[in-house]
C-alpha cells in the first residue's frame, strides 16, 4: 500500500490561498451584522405599524373612533397592546439593552417612547395615540433612518 504525503510547498500554498480568501471575505462579512440588525428592526417596525392599523380597523368595526392608547402594558414585553382585550403583537418583543433590542423609554405606562439599538446607537421612536403613528424621531442619524427607508 502506498502512502501519500503533502510536501511543504503544497501546505504553504494552501495556507496562502486560505489567507487571501479570508482577507477578502472577512471585511465583506463585517458589515453584514449591522445590515442584519437593521433588517430585524425594519421587520419589527412593519409588524408594529401593521398591528396598529389592524387594531384601528377592529375598533372602527366596533364603533370606537380612538386609536389604541399605548403599545405596551409593561416594560418587559413590548408591543402587546394597552389592555387585555386588545393585543397588538401575538407575542410581544422582549425588552433589553444592546444591539438589536427594543426598550421602552417611559418610566411608567402609558408607554409612548421606544428605542431600538443598532450597534451602540439608539434610534428613538414615538407612538402618537391621537394619530396612531409610530415614527422615528426627526433628529435620527443616517443609520437610524435606514430603519424606515
How is the chain split into domains, by residue range?
A: 8-145
Distance CA 130, CA 132 (A): 6
The pTM assigned to this predicted structure is 0.79
Report DSSP state, residue 12: H
Neighbour-count burial of 105, counting CB atoms closer than 10 A to its CB (0-12 exposed, 13-18 middle, 19+ buried): middle
The 10s digit of each residue's pLDDT in 41-92 is: 999 999 999 999 988 898 899 898 888 888 887 888 888 765 555 667 877 8
Is 83 or 126 the better-scoring residue by pLDDT?
126
Residue 14: all three cell numbers together: 494552501
Return phi, psi of residue 11, to 5°: -65, -45
CA–chain centroid gap for 35, Å, is 11
4: left (phi over 0), alpha (psi -120 to 50) or beta: beta
Amino acid at each position: 500500500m502506498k502512502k501519500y504525503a503533502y510536501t511543504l510547498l503544497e501546505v504553504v500554498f494552501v495556507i496562502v490561498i486560505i489567507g487571501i480568501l479570508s482577507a477578502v471575505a472577512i471585511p465583506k462579512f463585517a458589515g453584514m451584522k449591522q445590515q442584519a440588525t437593521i433588517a430585524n428592526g425594519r421587520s419589527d417596525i412593519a409588524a408594529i405599524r401593521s398591528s396598529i392599523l389592524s387594531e384601528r380597523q377592529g375598533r372602527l368595526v366596533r364603533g370606537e373612533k380612538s386609536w389604541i392608547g399605548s403599545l405596551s402594558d409593561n416594560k418587559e414585553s413590548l408591543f402587546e397592546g394597552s389592555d387585555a382585550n386588545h393585543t397588538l403583537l401575538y407575542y410581544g418583543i422582549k425588552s433589553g439593552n444592546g444591539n438589536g433590542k427594543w426598550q421602552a423609554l417611559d418610566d411608567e405606562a402609558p408607554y409612548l417612547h421606544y428605542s431600538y439599538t443598532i450597534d451602540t446607537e439608539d434610534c428613538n421612536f414615538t407612538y402618537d395615540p391621537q394619530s396612531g403613528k409610530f415614527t422615528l424621531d426627526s433628529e435620527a442619524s443616517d443609520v437610524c433612518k435606514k430603519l424606515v427607508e
